[in-house]
């Protein structure tokens, strides 16, 4: 009998070569399965997959000790549990469809509900501190790095691009005459092409950056000092530096939440926002609005009166 690892390798191959999933998504499937094997049995076979095994896995996941820097921690967030559930169940459903197992071992186990209590978007004062840090406070190595970072964070703030879409940008994706940006399907999570209008701040920052990187021949917009494509690791290091200097704890995806919240505040309807965000399902868009502050709807409520009732 083939091991579960053999079957998962086949599952990953299909996701990569047939469904053309992004490598970041592929890695998340592989990481979830690696942890699952580590906390169960390394040589587990399909016939040993039961609801009891999955329950035991989540008990171990929630109680295991792990190092976060110099600190030992245990327990995981509900959102983390939900992620493991989703990544593993996709594989189990694949096994079920191929009749390798009778049913998913998650059958009868409800997916964890997640309550989001924290504010996901960045406030105006937080954005100002971050942008001041990027533009003024940090002494970057040279003008290329400084203008690259300014352009990068203006794009994040005013377009709501995903991390992979940002790093995958090419110079040819910009229409400088029409002030438009094309997000190509190979970088988009939805696998669809979409065009995003760019405001004057973004266009000015991108043009300034391109001017100082003229000697480099990379097709990618964002590059290192050596002319190589800027990577996810490089972006992570850059964000850590800005967090330290600004005192604002954030990750790149919070700019996407910030873009969505401010678009709604400017009066953009959810359908248009869905397109700008590159969502297949409008329910994905609504998730970004789960922590809308009451001040955003105050004027609308004040506008309601007896003579305006339907």
What pLDDT score does 48 carry? Answer: 87
pLDDT of residue 296: 62
Q: Which residue stretches of the chain have pLDDT < 70? A: 1, 66-74, 112-119, 290-306, 308-310
Query: What pLDDT score does 79 carry?
Result: 79
CATH of 124-295, picked from 1.10.443.10, 2.40.110.20, 1.10.287.110, 3.30.60.50, is 1.10.443.10
What's the confidence (pLDDT) of residue 125?
Answer: 94
Confidence at residue 238, expressed as pLDDT on a 0 to 100 scale: 96
N-to-C CA span, the chain: 66
d(CA 122, CA 250): 8
Instruction: Return the pLDDT at 295.
Output: 63
Return d(Cα 83, Cα 104) in angstroms, integer: 16
pLDDT in the model for residue 269: 86
User: For residues 33 and 25, what is the distance between their CA atoms, to the nearest angstrom?
Assistant: 13
Q: What is the pLDDT, as a whole number, of residue 287? A: 77
Closest CA to 242 of 234, 250, 233: 250
pLDDT at 178: 94
Q: In the numeric block, which tokens belong to residue 206?
A: 């991108």
- What is the structure's pLDDT at 264? 86
0.85 cut: is pTM over it?
Answer: no
């Amino acid at each position: 009998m083939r091991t579960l690892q053999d079957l998962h390798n086949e599952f990953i191959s299909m996701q990569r070569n047939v469904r053309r999933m992004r490598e970041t998504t592929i890695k998340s499937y592989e990481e979830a399965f690696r942890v699952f094997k580590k906390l169960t049995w390394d040589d587990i076979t399909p016939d040993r997959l039961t609801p009891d095994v999955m329950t035991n896995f989540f008990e171990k996941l929630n109680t295991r000790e792990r190092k976060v820097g110099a600190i030992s921690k245990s327990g995981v967030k509900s959102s983390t549990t939900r992620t493991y559930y989703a990544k593993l169940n996709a594989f189990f459903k694949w096994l079920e469809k191929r009749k390798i197992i009778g049913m998913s071992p998650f059958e009868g186990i409800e997916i964890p509900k997640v309550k989001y209590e924290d504010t996901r978007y960045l406030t105006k004062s937080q954005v100002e501190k971050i942008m001041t840090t990027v533009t003024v406070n940090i002494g970057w190595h040279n003008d290329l790095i400084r203008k690259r970072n300014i352009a990068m964070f203006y794009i994040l703030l005013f377009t709501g691009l995903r991390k992979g879409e940002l790093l995958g940008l090419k110079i040819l994706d910009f229409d400088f005459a029409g002030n438009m940006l094309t997000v190509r399907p190979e970088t988009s999570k939805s696998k669809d092409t979409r065009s995003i209008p760019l405001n004057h701040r973004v266009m000015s920052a991108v043009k300034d950056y391109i001017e100082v990187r003229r000697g480099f021949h990379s097709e990618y917009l964002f590059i290192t000092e050596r002319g190589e494509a800027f990577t996810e690791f490089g972006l992570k290091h850059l964000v850590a530096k800005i967090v330290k200097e600004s005192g604002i704890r954030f990750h790149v995806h919070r700019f996407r939440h910030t873009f969505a919240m401010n678009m709604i505040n400017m009066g953009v309807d959810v359908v248009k926002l869905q397109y700008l965000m590159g969502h297949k399902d409008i329910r994905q868009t609504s998730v970004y609005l789960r922590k809308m502050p009451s001040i955003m709807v105050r004027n609308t409520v004040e506008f309601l009166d007896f003579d305006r009732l339907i």
